[in-house]
Amino acid sequence: MLETQQVDPFLETDFLERLEHLMLLTKKKAKGANLGEHQSIRSGGSQEFLDYRTYQPGDDLRYVDWNVYGRLGRLFIKLFKAEKEQSVYILLDMSASMAAGNPLKAIYSKKIAAALSYICLANMDRVMVSSFNDRMHFSKTPERGRQVYFLILEFLRSLKAEGITDLNAALTEFASSARKNGVVIILSDLLSESGFEQGMKALEYQNLDINLIQILDQKELMPTLNGYLKLKDWESGTQDVMTVDKHLRDLYRQKMESFLLRIKEHCHAIGADYFLTETSTPFDTFLIEYLIEGNLIK
């Protein structure tokens, strides 16, 4: 377990202890050459013998079982359990719109990032946490080891929700910098005027296992505003005066439903996992549901 003498501003200690038993998994095979916690079947590379398979041209002759060859006159390769690491990239939207909500969407996403980082590091994955608004703000390269968790907390503490969102530009920038295949987890409200499809396609092109977590406030999903109001855009600062009534609220909800369906369909088309949550959902409830429903735990 991680040392607990330091005060953790995001998560309670008892919850972290429960998280330690969960494993974040990618649908794809981990492709790194270093040893980690994700199991695959290969010839050699470990002391735990699993099985045999018939020799094929090009196989390493060091893993031929010559005793079996002496008895049967046929070549068989020994198979072992090999442990492979994966890289996990957690990308937080820290644009100004994430400063909205109760609790703030920015705080909610930081909690998710801290928890997922803890799970991954406890299971020997390499983790990198970065933020973005209209561009990526990279932290360090993916690192492993439980001591990295406290560095991630320091990074999360330093983040402020500011600036405009450009998901396409930020995600494309990240995709062009990704050096290893792995899992990318995006935490965002997806409220970007430029859209999101181009950036998601760039991630798909890099053969990343994409997990999109959309975080919205309940009032963004089901607004209750009414009357003559002055509304201000969180990011552009522009203001508009309008009368909000039932007809306008219904129209807004229709557009929001269409927007959410568009996101879901796009994720399905590129093989990305999509999960929608609102900040009124208790954080630990959301996390457990996400890990289970997304098939991301053992």
Is residue 207 over pLDDT 50? Answer: yes
Per-residue pLDDT tens for 228-272? 756 666 666 677 777 777 887 888 889 999 999 999 999 999 999
Kindly report the CA angle at 255 between 292 and 285, in degrees rounded to 5?
Answer: 20
- pLDDT attached to residue 296: 56
Q: Is the Cβ–Cβ distance between 44 and 80 less than 8 Å? A: yes
Q: What percent of the chain has pLDDT over 70?
A: 74
- pLDDT attached to residue 231: 63
- pLDDT attached to residue 180: 72
Neighbours of 245 (CB within 10 A): 12
pTM: predicted TM-score of the whole model, two decimal places: 0.76
Q: Helix or strand or coil: residue 157? A: helix
Q: Tell me which of 197 and 77 has the higher pLDDT.
A: 197
The two structure tokens encoding residue 128: 């990198």
What is 191-227 written as a DSSP string? Answer: --TT-SHHHHHHHHHTT-EEEEEEEE-HHHHS----E
The two structure tokens encoding residue 15: 């919850």
User: Tokens 């609220």, residue?
Assistant: 249
Q: Tell me which of 159 and 76 has the higher pLDDT.
A: 159
pLDDT band at 55 (very low <50, low <70, confident <90, very high): confident
Q: Which of 59-63, 246-250, 261-265, 283-287 has the lowest mean pLDDT?
A: 59-63
Is residue 43 over pLDDT 50? Answer: no
Domain 13-28+86-293 has CATH 3.30.70.240: no
**What are the boundaries of each domain within the chain?**
13-28+86-293, 38-84
Torsion sign, CA atoms 7, 20, 146, 23: negative
Span 269-288, mean pLDDT? Answer: 90
Output the furthest CA–CA distance in the chain (Å, rounded). 90
pLDDT band at 298 (very low <50, low <70, confident <90, very high): very low
Q: Is the Cβ–Cβ distance between 210 and 184 less than 8 Å? A: yes
- pLDDT attached to residue 144: 78
- pLDDT attached to residue 277: 94
Per-residue pLDDT tens for 152-203? 988 998 999 999 889 999 999 999 988 777 899 999 999 988 899 999 999 9
Q: Which of 22-36, 69-83, 131-145 has the lowest mean pLDDT?
A: 22-36
